[in-house]
Structure 1
């Protein structure tokens, strides 16, 4: 996984999928996190970003996903569990090929449980979503492509 510790901080290369269906977007979180984010994960060395998304969805949910067009590139600096992160994120349109329904479901990342929920895109300001640009970007129809950046944010703070 491309996550490098440099001078007491972490560089992270993350790929995430944007699945919007019937006005709802698929988000996930761990039970201990106080925010939601788009599903995805870290890219492996010499792995194409679209392949990362498909692999992560299969590993975490057992669902087959197909990555579409890239929507956003995001640069984020944040604190999480006491570590400073510099994260580059690629966000792709995503189709889930074997989606049985839009009910909540559980997944896993290694030993950690993941909660998946379809949130109404018009209600995202009522919950905590990270990166924060997603609250506005996901509410646009059609979704607009772009580049987003944010400076330090403490994800552990409520």
Structure 2
């Protein structure tokens, strides 16, 4: 996985999928987190980003997905579990052709449980979703291709 510790920080290369159906977007979180994010994960060395998303969704949910066009690129600096992170994220449209229900369900990342939930895009401003640009962008119709930066130079203040 492309996740490199550098001094007291971590660099991640992450790929995530945007699945919107019936006005709801698929999000996930760990039981200990107090925020939601789009499903996906870290790329492996010499793995194309679209292949990363297919692999991560299969590993975490058992679902086969179809990856569409890239929507967003995000350069994100943040603190998570008391560690500074520098993350490059690619966000793709994602279709789940064999989806039979939009009920909540459990998945897993290794030994860690993941809760998956379909949340109405118009309610995203009432729940914490990261990176922060997602709530506004997911409510757009149609979605627009963009590049985002989140520049928190003074991470100690976070």
User: For the superposition of Structure 1 and Structure 2, which TM-score range results when normalised by the shorter chain?
Assistant: over 0.9
* 2:104 is the counterpart of 1:112: no
Cα distance in 2, alignment partners of residues 59 and 148 from structure 1: 28
Deviations 1:86-145 (A, max 9, x none): 000000000012211100000000000000000000010000000010010000000011
Q: Unaligned stretches of 5+ in structure 2?
A: none
Bigger drift between 94-103 and 26-35 goes to 94-103
| 1:30 and 2:30 aligned | yes
Cα distance in 1, alignment partners of residues 135 and 81 from structure 2: 23
Query: What is the alpha-carbon distance in structure 2 between the residues aligned to residue 5 and residue 36 of structure 1?
Result: 24
Give the CA RMSD over aligned residues.
1.3
Alpha-carbon offset, residue 151 of structure 1: 2.5
Match of 2:2 in 1: 2
Residue 21 of structure 1, CA deviation: 0.3
Residue by residue over 1:43-100, the C-alpha shift from the partner in whole angstroms, topping out at 9 and shown as x without a partner, is: 0000000000000000000000111000000010001111100000000000012211
Q: Does residue 1:70 correspond to 2:70, yes or no? A: yes
> Moved runs in structure 1, 4+ residues, more than 6 A?
none
2:103 match: secondary structure: coil
1:149 to partner: Cα distance: 1.0
Mapping of 1:6-155 within 5 angstroms? 6-152=6-152
- Tell me the TM-score normalized by structure 1: 0.95
Please list every run of 5 or more consecutive structure 1 residues that lacks an aligned counterpart in the other structure. Answer: none
